[in-house]
């Protein structure tokens, strides 16, 4: 056997196992995804079915989340997110393929990792082809792993494509908390992870208390909370209300490519300018709505209420932004004394300090904003 191959044993009857494997092998011939572990071959030996898969050097997600010993290092946030995205792509491929497949056993032990921690889904022994025609679900014997199976499937045997989404939601919570879905060694009331932490997922203040301590706080809080909200949707009791795998995958992709904001204190410090060059003011406090201050700034950008009264609101900045929007659309300056009178505008008088002098302001014949509105 080559070093890039791995063998899995299955102990079931010959007829059932061979039928499953032939189905799996035939399906893999027609459909291939980078995020599915490739089945290379199979054989029957000494009453055991041997399946030959591509070798995944980093083992399973389960080993990294729950393994013990110095050889197992905690997964950093970026790798956890990358793993979730890879697994999501694998499930999305199954759900949207020409012959729709319901995986039915999504859990960390079935998510394998290559040398770069890219995730691939393994073991299609419980997978079923999805409903056809106008049918919405299959009715089948309940199989799978306790703690990951969707409630409607456990209760009725009705299997929907979105039954897989429940299992994905459980794995999302495991990745956030670093805890097993079912653990009989936890105190009573906490043995079922979802029953225990579900109330925490929707409350941002409480949510941080259930995050995996092995992350040591090194994760983007907003992104983690967004994933918690996705998990809540996946864990909905009604399969119709759960998101599709494609919708979840798109959210995770956006979170991966969004640069994290630095801590708030760092953001404040990074924007501190020398006092002589800074016109910024701290906003009103308490019940106050504005700050009253000496009028400064650049003519053509200052909000009219600020220029007239010195009352500075947070939304006074929005006026400036609106002027810049018009500049971007037109390619013209907001104030230009060289334009004809019907396109110009007078920029008033400024002192040597750059202070806007109310006494020297003359009515503008036509501001850029008015010109844009008229046209």
Question: Which are the catalytic amino acids?
Answer: 105
CA atoms of 222 and 260, how far apart (whole Å)? 9
Closest CA to 150 of 136, 173, 170: 170
Q: Percent helix, strand and coil across the chain, each rounded to 5?
A: 40, 15, 45
Q: Which residues contact 269 (CB under 8 A, 6 or more apart)?
A: none
Q: How many residues are listed for the chain in this entry? A: 375
- 14 burial type by CB count under 10 A (0-12 exposed, 13-18 middle, 19+ buried): exposed
State how far the Cα of 124 lies from the Cα of 128, in Å rounded to an integer: 8
Nearest to 245 by CA among 100, 89, 126, 136: 89
Written as six digits, the tokens of 200 are: 């925490």
Burial of residue 228 (number of CB atoms within 10 Å: 0-12, 13-18, 19+) = buried
User: Locate tokens 């499937």: which residue?
Assistant: 153
CA distance 123 to 39: 9
Q: Which of 198, 184, 192, 288 is nearest to 236 (CA)?
A: 198
Q: What is the DSSP string of 91-133?
A: HHHHHHSSS-EE-----GGGEEE-TT--EEE---TT-EEPP-T
| Cα distances (Å, whole numbers) of residue 190 to 178, 182, 197 | 14, 9, 8
Residues 6+ apart with CB under 8 A from 119: 35, 61, 82, 83, 84, 85, 86, 87, 90, 111, 112, 113
* Alpha-carbon torsion, ordered 183, 187, 191, 195, to 10 deg: -150
């Amino acid at each position: 056997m080559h070093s890039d191959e791995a063998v899995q044993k299955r102990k079931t009857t010959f007829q059932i196992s061979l039928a499953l494997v032939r189905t799996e092998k035939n399906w893999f011939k027609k459909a291939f995804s980078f995020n599915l572990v490739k089945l290379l071959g199979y054989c029957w030996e000494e009453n055991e079915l041997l399946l030959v898969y591509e070798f995944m050097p980093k083992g399973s997600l389960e080993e990294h989340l729950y393994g013990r010993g110095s050889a197992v290092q905690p997964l950093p946030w970026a790798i956890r997110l990358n793993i979730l995205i890879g697994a999501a792509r694998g499930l999305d491929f199954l759900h949207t393929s020409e012959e729709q497949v319901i995986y039915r056993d999504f859990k960390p032990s079935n998510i394998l990792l290559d040398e770069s921690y890219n995730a691939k889904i393994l073991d299609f022994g419980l997978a079923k082809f999805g409903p056809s025609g106008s049918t919405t679900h299959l009715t089948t014997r309940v199989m799978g792993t306790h703690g990951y199976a969707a409630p409607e499937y456990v209760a009725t045997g009705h299997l929907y494509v979105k039954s897989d989404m429940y299992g994905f939601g459980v794995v999302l919570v495991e990745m956030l908390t670093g805890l097993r879905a079912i653990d009989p060694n936890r105190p009573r009331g906490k043995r079922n992870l979802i029953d225990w932490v579900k109330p925490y997922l929707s409350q941002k203040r409480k949510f941080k208390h259930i995050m995996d301590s092995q992350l040591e706080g090194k994760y983007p809080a907003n992104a983690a909370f967004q994933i918690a909200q996705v998990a809540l949707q996946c864990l909905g009791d009604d399969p119709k209300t759960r998101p599709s795998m494609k919708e979840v995958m798109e959210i995770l992709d956006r979170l991966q490519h969004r640069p994290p904001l630095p801590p708030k204190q760092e953001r404040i410090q990074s924007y501190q300018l020398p006092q002589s060059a800074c016109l910024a003011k701290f906003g009103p406090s308490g019940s106050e709505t504005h700050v009253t201050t000496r009028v400064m700034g650049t003519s053509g950008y200052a909000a009219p209420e600020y220029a007239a009264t010195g009352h500075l609101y947070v939304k006074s900045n929005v006026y400036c932004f609106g002027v810049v929007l018009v500049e971007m659309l037109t390619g013209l300056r907001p104030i230009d004394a060289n334009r004809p009178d019907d396109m110009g505008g007078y920029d008033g008088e400024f002192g040597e300090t750059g202070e806007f002098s109310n006494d020297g302001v003359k009515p503008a014949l036509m501001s850029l904003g008015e010109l844009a509105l008229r046209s």
